[in-house]
Structure 1
Amino acid sequence: MGRKLGIDYGLTRTGIAITDLLGITAQGLETINNNGSDKVILRRLAEIVEEYEVDTFVIGNPINMNGTESERSKQTDEFIHKLKSRFNTIPVIKIDERLTTVEAHKTMNYLNINNHKKRGIVDTIAAVYILEGYINKK
């Protein structure tokens, strides 16, 4: 059984989280600074997939609070298409990510993480919340 990989996709930064071998817990792995390049993300994901034997991608769907599609969700769908093309044997599961970034900021505020460090880890923490949401629904 492979690991699940959580993705908080963004045009500038993309947070990555991974499950343990049993698929019970999620840990933050890294934030990919992609600066608008999906190729950078896909290249790094290829390395992660090989290293961690990933068998499922779980990506957050940034829909609006009223449940409608946002501009970011359209961009995420475009990335999912690229992800499926590059990794055609690995399923991609899209889940609601509303408020994951808000929760990530709350967590960092609670832990007194300074603003400079927040930028580097908020997306990774959001990816953990996305992956935990998937694990908890199973």
Structure 2
Amino acid sequence: MEEIVLGFDFGVKNIGLAVGNRLTNTAQPIAILKANEGQPDWDEMERHIKEWTPTLLVVGMPYTADGTETEHMRKIRKFMNRLHGRFGLPVEEVDERLSSKESEQYIKPSKKGKKGQLDAHSAAIIVERYLNDDLIFSL
């Protein structure tokens, strides 16, 4: 059976969403979810989960070089706990360092100033890192 993975690049204003699968080990950006202080429209989130029927959710975690726990990391973990609580799916964190910088190469020059565009592409990079077993940390 094909393993479908939904990935998230969490932000307090935008949450990038991407889908990938274990068959091809590739991912594609699918949406930019608006968030209010990190809270997405949970009904919209549920629609995406029902549409894609993932077996796993992955969320990017911006680890620091010195291992310091940041406030943003605490918000991401809270988001991860809510995802798991609402949808009952396993949630894993993936090291997302430099994913935003890497995603810039996929954005047209006319769209580079639009932060939301990067979020969905960053989510795709996060999913591909998971699918390629690169820098994965389980809860």
Q: TM-score, normalised by structure 2?
A: 0.84
Aligned to 2:119: 123
Matched residues in 2 for 1:56 and 1:29: separation? 16
Describe the shift of the 1:107–1:38 C-alpha distance in structure 2 as closer, same or farther (beyond 3 A). same
RMSD: 2.0
Classify the secondary structure of the residue corresponding to 2:36. Answer: coil
Greater percentage in helix = 1
**Conservation of the 8 A alpha-carbon contact between 1:3 and 1:54:** yes
**Distance 1:19-1:114 versus aligned 2 partners, 3 A rule:** closer
Number of matched pairs = 133
Aligned to 1:27: 28
| Structure 2 portions without partners, runs of 5+ | 135-139
TM-score (norm 1): 0.85
* Aligned residue number for residue 58 of structure 1: 58
1:49 maps to 2:65? no
SS in 2 for 1:113: helix
How far the C-alpha of 1:98 sits from its partner, in A, is 1.0
Higher strand share: 2
CA-to-aligned-CA distance 1:81-136 (integer Å, 9 cap, x gap): 11111012x1101111111112223543xx423444x3231100110110010011
In structure 2, C-alpha distance between the alignment counterparts of 1:53 and 1:62, rounded to whole Å? 26
1:13-43 C-alpha deviation (Å, 9 max, x unpaired): 0000001473521000010111325251x32
CA-CA distance at 1:3 after TM superposition? 1.1
Q: Is 1:135–2:131 an aligned residue pair?
A: yes
Quote the sequence identity (%).
29
Aligned residue identity for 2:97: R
Q: Quote the residue 1:9 is aligned against.
A: 10
